[in-house]
């Protein structure tokens, strides 16, 4: 049995052991452009391997294929057993040199768009998660679009973890400003939370500055 092979370079998405995306679709369409026993590659693959000895790329031109918005520049790959180092350059290769900067620019733009999409997907997965999940975003994107927001939420979580019921004697030693800051941090952590979280605020601050609002939101959630 003779197999056809299509090879492409591009970003892919992995889910449950399978891969998806335009990079995969392009490879599948390239495979359909050649006969059994042949290999078809995209221009990106050809550009990576063009200077490797023993490889000859036959230009198939730009191909319009199913489910791919833009034409794909396809090449049939042939493996030569012996290639002389003095072999003259392929005329097709010389013609294409003038187009290379444009192609590389397009690849860079595609990579930037894909990276932005990946960052957005990452953030959507962790934005309402645990501090550890927010830290995983910052580890991956320390200067990312949502980095400042991630740090703000981590700080709020840290302040919230510091707020715990204190004996009355200890509470009385707090200054008015310190107590107000603690109450505000507590409220910021629970104001958009569940009724149970809002009730935890009322347990701590039954006559607090936001007590009436907390009761209103609890009542609204129960209706």
Enumerate the domain spans of the chain.
5-87, 94-162, 167-223
- pLDDT at position 167, please? 43
User: How far is C-alpha 70 from the geometric centre of its chain's CA atoms?
Assistant: 23
- pLDDT at position 39, please? 92
| pTM value > 0.85 | no
- pLDDT at position 75, please? 93
Close Cβ partners of 21 (under 8 Å, ≥ 6 residues apart): 10, 11, 12, 13
- pLDDT at position 111, please? 56
CA distance 12 to 124: 18
- pLDDT at position 86, please? 44
Across the 223 residues of the chain, what is the mean pLDDT of every consecutive 10-residue run? 86 78 82 88 87 86 81 87 49 44 48 67 80 86 81 83 52 57 78 84 87 88 81
5-87 carries CATH number 3.30.70.270: no
CA distance 101 to 107: 10
- Side-chain-facing half-sphere of 92: CA atoms under 13 Å: 12
CA distance 21 to 11: 7
- The tokens describing 150, both together, are 């991630």
- pLDDT at position 40, please? 94
- pLDDT at position 130, please? 86
- pLDDT at position 188, please? 82
User: How far is C-alpha 83 from the geometric centre of its chain's CA atoms?
Assistant: 42
Close Cβ partners of 142 (under 8 Å, ≥ 6 residues apart): none
Tracing tokens 């391997």 back to the chain, one arrives at 49
């Amino acid at each position: 049995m003779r197999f056809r092979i299509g090879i492409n370079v591009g970003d892919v998405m992995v889910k449950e052991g399978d891969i998806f995306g335009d990079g995969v679709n392009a490879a599948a369409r390239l495979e359909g452009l050649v006969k059994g026993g042949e290999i078809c590659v995209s221009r990106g693959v050809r550009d990576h391997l063009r200077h490797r000895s023993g490889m000859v790329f036959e230009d198939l031109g730009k191909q319009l294929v199913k489910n791919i918005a833009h034409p794909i520049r396809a090449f049939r790959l042939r493996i030569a057993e012996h290639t002389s180092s003095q072999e003259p350059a392929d005329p097709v290769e010389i013609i294409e040199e003038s187009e290379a900067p444009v192609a590389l620019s397009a690849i860079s733009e595609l990579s930037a768009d894909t990276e932005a999409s990946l960052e957005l997907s990452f953030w959507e997965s962790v934005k309402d998660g645990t501090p550890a999940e927010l830290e995983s975003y910052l580890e991956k994107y320390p200067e990312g679009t949502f980095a400042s927001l991630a740090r703000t939420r981590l700080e709020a979580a840290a302040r919230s973890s510091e707020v715990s019921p204190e004996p009355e004697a200890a509470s009385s030693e707090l200054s008015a400003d310190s107590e107000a800051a603690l109450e505000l941090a507590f409220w910021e952590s629970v104001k958009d939370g569940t009724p149970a979280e809002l009730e935890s605020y009322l347990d701590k601050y039954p006559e607090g500055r936001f007590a009436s609002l907390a009761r209103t939101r609890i009542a609204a959630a129960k209706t």
